[in-house]
Amino acid sequence: MSNRLYRMMFGIALLLGLYFDALPVLYALIALAGFEAVTNLRIPRVVSKLRYGNTGDPCEGSLGIPFHARTAFEAERGWRLTVAAMLALGVFAYPEALWFVPWFMGFAILGAGISGVCPMFLAMKWAGLK
């Protein structure tokens, strides 16, 4: 499983959870992203290891741009941490005032899954994350 497919499925699940106002789905997505960010046990990496015997392409999603890593913290892990934090902020802290944040994130993550280009991931790579 690639990170691109994972993002597409995550975006679809997020948008369906928001559309049907299914809070348990949103809580599960926040918990999943947070768990993956903290433990670095990512679903695409585990599935690739089980199916193909490798952990996938480490340069996937960077558009062939040679980024210089200034830290050992992975950009994919940072992406998941940012997604969990922003979703939690939009769902828990200020749901009436920030209702657009989860919707924007859902469409952005779905678009990143479809196109294979995630601006947040690229920004984290540019900032120096591995």
Give Cα separations from 128 to 68, 74, 82, 115 (angstroms). Answer: 6, 9, 16, 23
What pLDDT shows up at residue 126?
A: 93
* Per-residue pLDDT of the chain in tens (130 residues, 90 and over written 9): 889 999 999 999 999 999 999 999 999 999 999 999 999 999 988 888 888 888 767 667 777 888 888 999 999 999 999 999 999 999 888 888 888 999 999 999 999 999 989 999 999 999 999 8
Q: How far apart are CA 57 and CA 65, in angstroms?
A: 14
Q: What is the pLDDT of residue 58?
A: 67
- The pLDDT value recorded for residue 52 is 84
- What is residue 76's predicted lDDT score, i.e. its pLDDT? 92
CB 69 within 8 A of CB 126: no
pLDDT at position 122 is: 92
Question: Can you tell me the distance from the alpha carbon of 126 to that of 75, in angstroms, rounded to the nearest whole number?
Answer: 9
Q: Tell me how far the alpha carbon of residue 5 is from its chain's centroid.
A: 11
DSSP, residue by residue, 41-58: --HHHHHHHHHHSS---T
* 12 neighbors 66 (Cβ within 8 angstroms): no
Tell me what pLDDT residue 110 has. 97
Give me the residue spans of the domains in the chain. 3-126
Nearest CA to 76 among 121, 45, 116, 32? 121
What was the pLDDT predicted at 54?
80
What pLDDT score was predicted for residue 2? 87
